[in-house]
């Protein structure tokens, strides 16, 4: 231990005066409802704290953490058990000996399957948006007119805004998070066949507003 | 099962250190509690719902409030308050150390430090903040904060023996 470390240790031995009970009571009054937003559980038999003097140096809100850990552990244990059962069931069904009846059944199922229709992949049409399909083929497959569509119309529809409260940024500074909900609409029109296609896509935008610390 | 607001256990852990810092930052000793109350309530209202608040935020709020309050005091009052500023630092610590001469000398030496070095020592030793947190609290660079701390320790190393010697001489003279 060098001299600075010794000095630091000596300084740490000096204990600052604890705030008085009256001051803690004042704080409680000033906090009002804001003080009761986050609560922690005390073990049975332990009394409520009247002031800082009543609290040992251990972390009191550790009870809250241990309770949530317990819940998480129970959840994981349940999920693990379910996964083990699923694996056992899968393995046992796949390792079942294949009887001649099963083999015959599988063969007949394969025979029933229709042969895959072949597409002329070499028919390359430069106007077609899909490689390997001509415009005519595309029209046949999609049952929709291929040409004659107008330019799509887009529209951004604002739905609502939600204030998600204040959080602490990694830098340690507070910020308010506001989420905007939009619906993006795209409309394709084909006047010749009086066909319209409307596509709607929900979208969210998160805005972070930095706050001063006081 | 009993429940209690989390802020109480939080304040039990950090209250004494925060009050010490508030005493250093305030212009008058009786203003320190008001300063701490205002800063703590503001920060807890912002973050209290999370159940855990970084103490650095409260230190920062105390410092900024102290600066704002000092600006709002008129000159005459500020002149009067200079007297209050000379209140010994030992009032902010457990009185049991009165029996320990070396500890008293240590405190007197801390008291002699320039204000900027004193606040770094307070935040580092009793606030238990890292240099990075102190730099953010004081709006200074990490290097500045680390150098102030080092200079402060060097001075303390030099001054504590002087303080002990001086006190001994005083008691001899008085005797």
Q: For A39-58, what is each residue's pLDDT tens digit?
A: 777 766 555 444 444 444 34
Residue scoring higher pLDDT (B19 or B102): B19
* pLDDT for B164 beyond 90: no
A146 pLDDT band, cuts 50/70/90, is confident
CB spacing of A38 vs B50 below 8 angstroms: yes
B51/A61 Cβ within 8 A: yes
Residue A108: what pLDDT? 62
Judge: A10–B94 Cβ closer than 8 Å, yes or no: no
Contacts of B19 in chain A (CB under 8 A): 16-19
Contacts of B133 in chain A (CB under 8 A): 172
Interface test with A, best of B46, B96, B106, B163 (most A CBs within 10 A): B46
pLDDT of residue B166: 73
In chain A, which residues have their Cβ closer than 8 Å to the Cβ of B121?
11
Low-confidence winner among A3-7, A135-139, A175-179 (lowest mean pLDDT) = A135-139
Q: What is the model's pLDDT at position A53?
A: 43
pTM of the model: 0.54
**Contact assignment for B42 to A214 by CB distance below 8 Å:** yes
Q: What is the mean pLDDT of residues A27-41?
A: 82
Comparing alpha-carbon positions, the chain A residue that sits nearest to B66 is A214
Q: What is the C-alpha to C-alpha distance for residues B170 and B162, in angstroms, rounded to an integer?
A: 12
Looking at chain A from residue 88 to 107, which residues have their Cβ under 8 Å from any Cβ of chain B? none
Tell me, what's the pLDDT at A60? 40
CB atoms A18 and B16 under 8 Å: yes
The predicted structure's pLDDT at residue B83: 46
* Domain annotation for chain B: domains and CATH numbers: 1-87 (no CATH), 94-175 (1.10.10.10)
**Beta-bridge mates of residue A40:** B4
**Span of A162-171, A173-182, B134-143 with lowest mean pLDDT:** A162-171
**What digits encode the pLDDT tens for the residues A102-114?**
555 655 665 565 5
Nearest to A19 among B15, B49, B121 (CB): B15
| Residue tagged 């031995």 (tokens) | A13
A67 touches chain B (CB under 8 A): no
How much of chain B exceeds pLDDT 90, in percent? 38
The 3-state secondary structure of chain B reads CEEEEHHHHHHHHHHHHHHHHHHHHCCCHHHHHHHHHHHHHHHHHHHHHHCCCCHHHHHHHHHHHHHHHHHHCCHHHHHHHHHHHCCCHHHHECHHHHHCHHHHHHHHHHHHCCHHHHHHHHHHHHCCCCHHHHHHHHCCCHHHHHHHHHHHHHHHHHHHHHHHHHHHHHHHHHC
Q: What does the pLDDT read at residue A81?
A: 74
Domain ranges of chain A: 1-88, 120-144, 150-210
**Cβ(B14)–Cβ(A27) below 8 Å:** no
For residue B103, the model assigns a pLDDT of: 83
The pLDDT of residue A54 is 41
Residue B12 distance to chain A (closest CA, Å)? 4
| Model pLDDT for residues B43-90, shown as the tens digit of each residue | 988 888 777 788 999 999 999 988 888 887 654 565 555 544 555 666
Give the mean model confidence (pLDDT) for residues B164-170: 67
Q: Report the C-alpha gap between A21 and A50 in whole angstroms.
A: 7
Indicate yes or no: CB of B153 within 8 angstroms of CB of A23.
Answer: no
- pLDDT at position B58: 92
Confidence of residue A63 (pLDDT cuts 50, 70, 90): very low
| List of E strands, chain A | 39-42, 153-168, 174-190, 195-210
- What is the ipTM for the molecules in this complex? 0.79
User: Is A122 touching B (CB cutoff 8 A)?
Assistant: no
Predicted local distance difference test score (pLDDT) of residue A109:
60
Is the confidence at residue A66, as pLDDT, over 70?
no
What mean pLDDT value characterizes chain A? 74
Phi, psi of A174 (to 5 degrees): -80, 150
- CA distance linking residue A181 with residue A137, whole number of Å: 40
């Amino acid at each position: 231990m060098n001299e600075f470390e010794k000095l630091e240790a000596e300084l740490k031995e000096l204990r600052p005066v604890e705030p008085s009970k009256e001051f803690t009571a004042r704080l409680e009054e000033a906090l009002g409802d804001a003080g009761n937003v986050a609560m922690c559980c005390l073990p049975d038999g332990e009394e409520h704290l009247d002031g800082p003097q009543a609290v040992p140096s251990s972390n009191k809100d550790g009870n809250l953490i241990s309770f949530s850990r317990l819940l998480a552990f129970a959840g994981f244990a349940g999920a693990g058990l379910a996964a083990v059962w699923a694996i056992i069931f899968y393995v046992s069904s796949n390792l079942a000996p294949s009887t001649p009846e099963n083999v015959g059944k599988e063969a007949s199922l394969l025979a029933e399957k229709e042969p895959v229709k072949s597409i002329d992949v070499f028919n390359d049409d430069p106007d077609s948006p899909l490689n390997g399909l001509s415009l005519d083929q595309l029209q046949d497959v999609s049952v929709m007119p291929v040409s004659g569509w107008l330019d799509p119309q887009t529209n951004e529809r604002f739905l609502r805004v939600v204030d998600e409260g204040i959080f602490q940024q990694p830098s340690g500074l507070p910020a308010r998070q506001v989420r905007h909900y939009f619906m993006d609409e795209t409309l394709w029109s084909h006047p010749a066949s009086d066909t319209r296609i409307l596509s709607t896509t929900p979208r969210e935008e998160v805005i972070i507003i930095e706050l001063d610390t006081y | 099962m009993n429940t209690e607001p989390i802020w109480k256990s939080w304040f039990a852990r950090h209250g004494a250190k925060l009050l010490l810092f508030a005493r250093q930052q305030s212009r008058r000793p009786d203003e320190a509690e008001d300063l701490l109350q205002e800063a703590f309530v503001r920060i807890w209202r912002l973050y209290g719902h999370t159940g855990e608040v970084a103490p650095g935020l409260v230190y920062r709020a105390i410092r900024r409030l102290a600066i704002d309050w000092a600006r709002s005091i008129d000159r005459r009052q500020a002149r009067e308050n200079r007297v209050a500023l000379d209140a010994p630092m030992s009032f902010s610590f457990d009185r049991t150390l009165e029996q320990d001469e070396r500890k008293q000398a240590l405190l007197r030496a801390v008291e002699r430090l320039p204000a900027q070095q004193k606040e770094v020592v307070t935040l580092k030793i009793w606030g238990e903040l890292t240099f990075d947190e102190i730099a953010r609290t004081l709006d200074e660079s990490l290097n500045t904060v680390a150098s102030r701390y080092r200079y402060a320790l060097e001075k303390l190393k030099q001054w504590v023996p002087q303080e002990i010697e001086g006190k001994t001489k005083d008691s001899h003279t008085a005797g």
